[in-house]
Amino acid sequence: MTETDYKNDVELILGHRFDHGWDYWTTEDKRLIKGAPFSTLESAMLLLEAGMPVSDPLLAELGELIMSTWREDGRFKLYPKGGILPCHTTHAANVLVQLGYKEDERLKKTFQHLLETQYIDGGWRCNKFSYGRGEETEYSNPGTTLLGLSAFRFTEYLNKEPLLEPTVEFLLEHWRIRKPIGPCHYGIGTLFMQPEYPFRTYNLFYYVYVLSFYETAKKDPRFLEALAALEATMEDNQIVLTRVNRKLSGLSFCKKGKPNGRATKCYEEILRNLK
C-alpha cells in the first residue's frame, strides 16, 4: 500500500465518522455495532487494515469507548437497551485484542467468561431465535464461534486450552453439515464460498484463515478441503475478491475481481501457519 493509498483510505473511513448522529461511528446512545460496515467496531478494524498504527490517539479513543461497555462478568453491552448476546462479546473481544488490549485484566476476564459459557457443541450460541426453534437451532452460531476463535488466537490459550478443541471441531464439522445452523442460520453456500476481505462475515477466506492458527485443524481433511476450495478461486497465487460490500468499494484493499495484495498476505500467513 502506498502512502497515497493509506491517506485516501483513512480519509474515506473518517468521512463516515458522524454518519450515525454522534462521534466515533456510533449513535448518541452508543450503539457500537449499528451501521455496518461503518459501525464503531468495524471502523476500528478498517482503520487498522488501512495501516493506521495501534498507537494512534484515535484508535486509543475507540478502544476506550468499546471498553466502556464492558461488564463485571466479562460481557460487553454494545447496545444500551436489550439483551447482551455472545456475538457482542466475541466481536468486541476480537477488536480489542487487535487494538492492544490482550493483557488488560478486564479482557482476560472476558476470555475466561467465554470458556465458561461454551455451548454443548463447543461453540457460542445466542439465545435469540429470529427463525423459530427448529432442530437446526440446537447448534451454536458458526459466525459467533469463528469470531471467538479469532480473538483467542491472540491469547495464551492458543493451542494450549483443551476447551477450544471442541470449538475447532464444531467449525470443521460445519464444513460437512453445510446447511444453515444455529439460531441465526449460518450456512455454507454460494455466498460463503466467495472470498471476502477485509474479514468481517462468516466466509470461506476468514474461516480458513482463523482455523489455520489451530493445530487440531491444520491436518484435518475438512480444513484441507476448505483450503483447496479457497485456492481454487485464486489467480496466479493471489487472492481475488468476488464478494465486496459496495460501501467499501472505494478502499484500496476492497477492489472486486482483481488480485488483492493485502488479502494475499493473509493467504501467505495461512501457508506459514501450516508449516
Q: In which band, very low, low, confident or very high, does the pLDDT at 127 lie, cut at 50, 70 and 90? A: confident
Query: Looking at 79-83, 140-144, 156-160, which range is the least confident one?
Result: 79-83
Checking if the pLDDT of 1 tops 90, the result is no
Query: Looking at 68-72, 155-159, 253-257, which range is the least confident one?
Result: 253-257
Checking if the pLDDT of 129 tops 90, the result is no
Share of the chain above pLDDT 70, in %: 98
Q: In which band, very low, low, confident or very high, does the pLDDT at 134 lie, cut at 50, 70 and 90? A: confident
Q: What is the mean pLDDT of residues 35-58?
A: 97
Q: What is the mean pLDDT of residues 254-262?
A: 92
What are the extents of the domains in the chain?
189-275
What pLDDT sits at residue 82? Answer: 83
Q: What is the mean pLDDT of residues 98-121?
A: 97
What pLDDT sits at residue 78? Answer: 96
| 232 vs 4, residue with greater confidence | 232
What pLDDT sits at residue 135? Answer: 85
DSSP the chain: --HHHHHHHHHHHHTTTTTTSSSTTS-TT--TT-STTSSHHHHHHHHHHHT--TTSHHHHHHHHHHHTTB-TTS-B--SSSS---HHHHHHHHHHHHHTT-TT-HHHHHHHHHHHHT--TTSS---S--TT---GGGGS--HHHHHHHHHHHTTSTTTTT-GGGHHHHHHHHHHHHH-S-BTTTTB--STTTTS-BSSS-SS-HHHHHHHHTT-HHHHT-HHHHHHHHHHHTT-BTTB-B-SB--GGGTTSTT--TTSB-HHHHHHHHHHHHHH-
Q: pLDDT tens digits, residue range 8-35?
A: 999 999 999 999 999 999 999 999 999 9
